[in-house]
A and B are shown apart, each in its own frame.
Chain A
Amino acid sequence: MKYITYNIKKTFIIFVLSATCYMLHATCISAQQVNLSMTPPIVQTRIKPGKSIIIAYTVENSGDPTNLQFLIRPFTPVGQLGSLTVSQQLEGPVQFNLENADAVLEKPFFFPSKEKRQAVLRIYIPPGVPDGDYYYMVMAETVPAFGVAGQSTGVASASIGSPLLISITESGVTEVKATIGEFSFIPDYTFTIGNNIVRIVDNAKELPIICSVRNMGRNLIQPQGIITDQFGDTKNKYNIIPQNILSNSQRVIKTFSDDNLDKAGSTLVLSHLSAGNHRVTAEMTFGENASVQYKTLEFLALPLRLIYISFFSLLVVLGIFVARYLQRKL
């Protein structure tokens, strides 16, 4: 009997020790994560028909192991804020091929965690392709993994993309045909004196300025220039960011200014305006040897809140005087 008890005790201790060891070596299990990164984030090329080039994209998997595939799809710009829509099918005259020995376009491969993979992409422009721009998105897409066991599930597939902007040109010359599409702001008050339109803004408020560029050519452009806010002899200059304006599209441009960082849809936000007349000028060029284009806005910045308060106070004082006068009369 004593021997049996000893055996049970021994077994129990071994069990507890084994369980402890197991627990200590247990690893955390979490939901399968996706964390992909891709470089370069954008590629722009100018290429002759009949030529081919090779571009290497690097994709890194910082998440869990997954099945991945490389896809290429055309895209078109949408709206004026840099949005885009990617087509469902690969189409267009440009030919793509992966030069990797171990990967083919649109064929999934196993992508372990903490690894990098290069997609060596050959781009070939067949002879005779008309001059113009062709825009594609190079994508790395995870293959959805079903593992449903009696649960209704939303299965996510993550893709990361890199825009590929191809300008096909026989001569090397690209078409620059663009204009300043919109240069505007919303004033607080507008009225006309003679032939002049007077726009008034409250100098205590921020004033978003919208400047968009319309590209009517068949090639993308990168506007360069400045926006100047002139008040008396003081000039505040804001450099325009040379972003791509794709062919046959319009885009609101941005400036290198901290003030507009949180104002989507505006080019520049003027703040802390001095009271008086302001002249805001946009001056930009759209390509080599292209002429400089100008557009100007003028407005009167006034301390409207101060004026309102003063006016209201004056009314109150006047009211008091009138009331007292009437009381005396009665």
Chain B
Amino acid sequence: MNKKNIITAFLLLSVHYFFVIPTCAINMQSGEYRIQMGTVDSGGGKMTDPVDNSYNLSSSIGQSAAKEFQSNGYVVKAGFQYLYSRIPFSFYLSTIRVDLGTLLPNSPRTGDITMKVSFGGAGQYIVTARADTPLSEVQGTDTISFTGCNGGADTCTITNAKLWTSASAYGFGYAMTGQDIPSDFISSSYFRPFANRLTSENPATIMQSTNVTADITPTPAIPYTPAPVLTGVPRATTHQAIITMKANVSGLQPAGTYAAVIRFLATPSF
């Protein structure tokens, strides 16, 4: 009885395996075209090669997303569709406190923060800075205003750095050195005042990269993935810059302990 059952099962399984059709993922790529989009809700309709009509493709991707939208009322995509990356976007500050020490008249003091942005999963990024207030007395109302740099032809603004080398030019500002910094920071002697939140000034961009972090060198070794095919292998890119804060006071500056909050915001671009 048991033998009979085993033989029957064996025969059934054999028949089943004979009729199995091998399946595999289809790559959406050929020598003639490559589907760049990795989105679930784009596409749809007829796609043609805009150059010489060497191919055309009817895609139902958009239709399925349209169905998804109709049934759920939403479609969500997370991450950059043209970058296949698991590298998170990250932001590093070497310190959250820049001690400018005891400020003496006509003796500028400086302090640094090293900033690093890792944007393997983002491609583009922006870092902005804005001060909540000028350097303000912690237990009082006196302030050290933002710098105008050397003044005259060397008067700096929140978007235009100028020379600040004079010991008799007072205020609070910053310089930038390193990667992806604005071009007006010609040298470490070029400073800007911080954008002031109190006066509703927009934060100033202090680091920015518009380059997409994709190594797009065409290579036949691009591993085939089921779908969709994404072009480019992102690099684990980290860019670094140093912000140097500087304060200089006159002999008329009231004694006290001064502080200012500087807010740095790092975001991937859209």
Contacts and interface: CB of A to CB of B under 8 A. Distances in A.
Interface in A27-85: 31-48, 50-51, 53, 55, 60, 62-63, 66, 77, 81-85
Interface string B233-270: 00000000000010100000000011111111111111
19 contacts: A31-B94, A31-B95, A34-B91, A36-B91, A37-B90, A41-B88, A46-B74, A81-B208, A139-B265, A146-B259, A151-B99, A152-B99, A152-B259, A156-B263, A162-B268, A172-B69, A239-B231, A256-B232, A258-B216
A37 B89 contact: yes
Interface in A140-178: 141-142, 144-148, 150-163, 165, 172
A288 interface: yes
A242 B37 contact: yes
A254 interface: yes
A248 interface: no
| Residue among A153, A157, A226 with max Cβ neighbours from chain B (10 Å) | A153
Nearest to B249: A152
| Residue among A77, A148, A237 with max Cβ neighbours from chain B (10 Å) | A148
Contacts of B224: none
Contacts of B111: 154
B100 A153 contact: yes
A258 B88 contact: no
A224 interface: yes
Given A46-B75, A158-B264, A285-B50, A146 B138 contact: yes
A192 to B, nearest CB: 30
B96 A155 contact: yes
A249 B69 CA distance: 26
A66 B58 CA distance: 52
Given A151-B100, A161-B265, A262-B211, A82 B270 contact: yes
Contact of A157 (B48, B66, B262): B262
Interface residues of B, number: 87
B230 to A, nearest CB: 11
A288 B62 contact: yes
A16 interface: no
B106 interface: no
Contacts of A157: 96, 261-264
A150 to B, nearest CB: 6
Interface in B43-67: 43-45, 48, 50-51, 62, 66
Given A41-B121, A160-B89, A225 B97 contact: no
B147 interface: no
Given A157-B96, A258-B217, A162 B102 contact: no
B263 A41 contact: no
Interface stretch (B12-20, B77-85, B160-168, B185-193): B77-85
A75 B216 CA distance: 30
Contacts of A32: 95-97
A153 B97 contact: yes
Contact of A147 (B42, B97, B122, B214): B97
Contacts of B93: 33-35, 63, 156, 158
B90 A35 contact: yes
A264 B211 contact: yes
A41 B39 CA distance: 15
B150 interface: no
Nearest to B63: A288
Interface string B112-146: 01000010011010101000000100100000100
A289 B44 contact: yes
Contact of B259 (A141, A155, A158, A222): A155
Nearest to A290: B45
Contacts of A150: 102, 257
Interface string A190-213: 000000000000000000000000
B76 interface: yes
Contact of A48 (B42, B74, B266, B270): B74
